[in-house]
Each structure stands twice: as C-alpha cells, then as structure tokens.
Structure 1
Amino acid sequence: MSKSKISIRPNLNLTSSSKEEQFQNEVLRPILKLQNDIIGLVFFRFLEKQKLVVQVADKAMFETKINETIKKNIVLRNQLLGLIIGQFTSDEFLIYKEKETEFNKRILNMIGKRITDNQSN
C-alpha cells in the first residue's frame, strides 16, 4: 500500500537543507499538490456552511483572512490536516509525529498559500 500511495504523488525536484525541509519537499508538497482540488472544495464548503465571507480586494488581506479562518476553526483545521496526514505512509507518519507541531504549522501555511494562489488565478 505504501508504494501505491507514493506512486500517485507528483514528482517535485526540490532541494533541501534540513531534515524538516526535506520532509516538506519530498512528502508534504507532493501530497498538497495531489490534494489541491479537494483542499479548495473542503475550505469553501466550510465557509458556505458557516455563512462566512472571506473575499477582499487586496491579495495580502485575503491571505491573512484565509489563514485566520484556518487557524481559528479547529474543525476546519483538523479536516485539512486529515486530508494530508491520511496520505502518509506508515514510515512518513513516524517522521511526522516526531515534530508534529512544526509540520502542522508548515502544512497549514502551505494550504493557506495554495488557497490564496488558486483564488487569484
């Protein structure tokens, strides 16, 4: 099962200087790219259900609002993290759990950036 999970991920050729950055570039970024469409759907469905509006003209302010929404809403945050963590292999999960807080921050920041970038395109 682990090989099939890895085989469907996009291949990104990124360099890394630390173990955390290597995990981010080799595991997190490909999974985020793979899950890109569903991340947006989950995020905007949550906004719809909560009757929240997060549209602003300024891109920086829009990104701030998205990040605030993700960080303030535990249910949404956990759903988004689950979309990523659920794609880990057992070995990747063991690496993740060693620095869970740091990796969660990285994941959520990258998710916020992806949502912002996708909305501006």
Structure 2
Amino acid sequence: MIDNKLSIRPVIIHIGTVENKTQEEGFQNTTLRPILKLQHELLIAFFENYVKRKKIDFQGLSSEKKNDFVSNIFKNDNMFKTELRGMIIGQFTVSEFAAYKSISSDANKRILTMAKERLLSVFL
C-alpha cells in the first residue's frame, strides 16, 4: 500500500536535496509538494465548487478582488481550510503521518500557503 501511494506521486526534480534543511523543509519538499502537485486538479475543482456554493461571480472579479477573496477564504473559512488539509493529509503514508504529527502546526501552515499560491497562480 505504501509503495502505491508513493508511486503515483509526481517527481519534482527542481526541489533539490533535503540535506542541510530543517525537518519541516525536508517534509515540505519530499511529501507536501509532490502531494499538492498530485492533487492539483482536485484542488482547483474543490475551489471552483466552493465559489459555486457561495454563489460568487469569481470570474467577474478584478485580479485584486480575486486575490482578496482567496486570501479571505484562507484567513477566515475554517471549514474550507480543514477540508483542504484533509485532501492532502489523506495522501500521507503511515510513516509520513508519524513525521507530520511532530510538526503539524508548521506543516499545516505550509499546506495552506502552498495551496493558496497554487490557486492564485491559476486564477489570477
């Protein structure tokens, strides 16, 4: 089962090695980035569904308003953030989850920051 989860993740070549990095940086580069890349299309669909449920004309907003809207979601909507983190954490292996538990606060911030950056790069 572990090999299956790891085998479907995209390889991100330009990350570099995890030597001389903190545990958090290593976890981000070896686990979080590949999972976020794997889940990219789902993340986009999740966001589009969120916008549709909220009945927001997102495409009609200016770039500045889109940026503000996305920033406010990541600041204020705890349900959105919890579901998004669940999409990522659900792709962890058992050993990755064990590592995550010791750095969960930092890892959660990194997950949300990287997801927000992905959404902004797609929609702005």
- TM-score w.r.t. the length of structure 2 is 0.86
Q: Using the aligned pairs only, state the percent identity.
A: 35
Structure number with greater CO (CA < 8 Å, separation at least 6) is 2
RMSD: 1.6
Question: What residue number does 2:63 align with?
Answer: 57
Question: What residue number does 1:31 align with?
Answer: 35
Can you give the 5+ residue segments of structure 2 that lack an aligned partner in the other structure? none
Q: Mapping of 1:1-121 within 5 angstroms?
A: 1-13=1-13, 14-15=15-16, 16=18, 17-54=21-58, 55-58=61-64, 62-120=66-124
Partner secondary structure for residue 110 of structure 1: helix
Can you give the 5+ residue segments of structure 1 that lack an aligned partner in the other structure? none
Residue-pair matches, total? 118
Task: Give the structure with higher Rg (CA).
Answer: 2
The runs of 4+ residues in structure 1 deviating greater than 4 Å are none
Over 3 Å counting, the alpha-carbon distance change for 1:52 and 1:97 in structure 2 is farther
- TM-score w.r.t. the length of structure 1 is 0.88
Q: Deviations over 1:67-94 (max 9, x none)?
A: 2212311111111111100000000001
Cα distance in 2 for partners of 1:71, 1:87 equals 24
Cα distance in 2 for partners of 1:86, 1:109 equals 18
